[in-house]
Structure 1
């Protein structure tokens, strides 16, 4: 089973474009309504046998309203709904700092994030928890009882929004703190 290495160009909403590297995503909509959400999944699910899986998302441009969600989801999840809003989907959102767990109701979790920030997501299959990082700092456990076949995903609804993912092809901001996993 292969690890996630890029975004899946055939598994995204119409509001998103992806550059030739398969790592940078741009939001192409106006972001004025809930109907203009764009989500993309990675090219492969995270194999649970890897025990720990970590990826980072650089916020290149927060866009007009800062609505960006970073998380993970199952294959069947609707790509026109933000990460965390539906069953089989979880996400940390930059515009409100909330963590969403299979519901449109978020719970306070971490700081807001915006242009220039790097948000990391660690899925720990050893103890079935998930934590996020912001600019290399661990924000604490966001979710417990992790299970299922999960794909990294990102959602945007922010005019001009742009992100770039690092699935491990370059050093992580959190790398210096890896012993804290």
Structure 2
């Protein structure tokens, strides 16, 4: 199985800009703010190829799963999440580990395992991150640098 090394530039939301490294993503869109919120919402997850990348956050629709930074909830094909882990924001590092041997997924926050979020996953899955607000920015590590979480094998 080939693991990703960068974001696929041909398969992304039209609102996102991926830098030349293929690792840094910026949400770039002009938005009229009617009622300014106090927070942002980044969701880290994965999806099947059929997921609408110009739709809602990962986990809010079929064929997608995600861990929401603002709420700490996990989302599984439905907009209402379930309590999962701590919230996360600027400065945090979130890991997403898909275990293809036992079809489970767990997340890490700053190198600490939060626990299993999803079980019984099947099919081909792709990394997916949802950025909600203008100016949101993330950088991914698909393994080119050492991970903060030390995987025990």
Q: Same fold (TM over 0.5)?
A: yes
| Partner SS for 1:152 | strand
Which structure has greater helix proportion? 1
Aligned to 2:17: 17
Aligned to 1:106: 81
Q: CA RMSD in A?
A: 1.6
Aligned to 2:97: 122
Aligned to 2:113: 138
For 2:119 and 2:32, the matched residues in 1 are separated by 31
Aligned to 1:152: 127
* 1:72-83 matches, cutoff 5 A: 72-79=46-53, 80-83=55-58
Aligned to 1:69: 43
Between 1 and 2, higher relative CO (CA 8 Å, sep ≥ 6) is seen in 1
TM, length-normalised to structure 1: 0.77
For 1:134 and 1:85, the matched residues in 2 are separated by 21
For 2:83 and 2:140, the matched residues in 1 are separated by 24
Aligned to 1:27: 27
Instruction: Provide closer, same or farther for how the CA distance between residues 105 and 32 of structure 1 changes in structure 2, counting only shifts above 3 A.
Output: farther
Deviation, structure 1 residue 91:
0.3
TM, length-normalised to structure 2: 0.91
Instruction: Provide closer, same or farther for how the CA distance between residues 14 and 31 of structure 1 changes in structure 2, counting only shifts above 3 A.
Output: farther
For 1:3 and 1:32, the matched residues in 2 are separated by 38
For 2:33 and 2:115, the matched residues in 1 are separated by 32
Q: Is the 8 A contact 1:31 1:157 kept in 2?
A: no
How many residues end up aligned between the 2 structures?
A: 148
Aligned to 1:169: 144
| Partner SS for 2:140 | strand
Which structure has greater strand proportion? 1
For 1:4 and 1:88, the matched residues in 2 are separated by 19
Deviation, structure 1 residue 127:
1.6
Deviation, structure 1 residue 31:
8.4
For 1:141 and 1:106, the matched residues in 2 are separated by 15
Runs (4 or more) in structure 1 with deviation over 6 Å come to: none
**Is there any run of 5+ residues in structure 2 with no aligned partner, and where?**
none
For 1:113 and 1:10, the matched residues in 2 are separated by 28
